[in-house]
Amino acid sequence: QSVLTQPPSVSGAPGQRVTISCTGSGSNIGAGFDVHWYQHLPGRVPKLLISNNVNRPSGVPDRFSGSKSGTSASLAITGLQAEDEADYYCQSYDSSLRGSRVFGGGTKLSVL
């Protein structure tokens, strides 16, 4: 069971908006540690999508946005496209686990 909780799956039609939540606790997200988001396509290398809660690396479309509040963070995807179908993971740092980096369990996004 992951320290960071994500919904196992979300879905949306092309053009719609979806959000993926990442719920932590006072020892990770709630303690102020940054959240990063990754997109993982089958057979590919994970790709950094959002860094430090809200920042988009160069080349990431502005359809992707991140936010953070309290003990949770969210990834929003607007204008869904078929190519967005992938697994999405949040990552942060947990001070109670001997300084471990932690990943969420992952969310499978299906574009209907």
Partner 1 sequence: QVQLVQSGAEIKTPGASVRVSCEASGYTFSNYGFTWVRQAPGQGLEWVGWISAYTGDTKFAQRLQGRVTLTTDTSTGTAYMELRSLTSDDTAVYYCARDSPAAAVSPLEYWGQGTLVTVSS
Q: How far is residue 102's CA from residue 73's CA, in Å, rounded to a whole number?
A: 14
Q: What is the total residue count of the chain?
A: 112
d(CA 51, CA 38): 9
Note the residues at the interface with partner 1 (CB under 8 A).
2, 33-34, 36, 38, 40, 45-46, 48, 51-52, 57, 87, 89, 91-93, 97-106
Query: Which residue's CB is nearer to partner 1, number 20 or number 33?
Result: 33
97 vs 112 by CB, closer to partner 1: 97
Rounded distance between C-alpha atoms, residue 96 and residue 93, angstroms? 9
Q: Which is nearer to partner 1, 72 or 91 (CB)?
A: 91
Closest distance between partner 1 and the C-beta of residue 36, in Å? Answer: 4
Residues 110 and 19 sit within 8 Å (Cβ to Cβ): no
Smallest separation, CB 110 to partner 1 (Å): 16
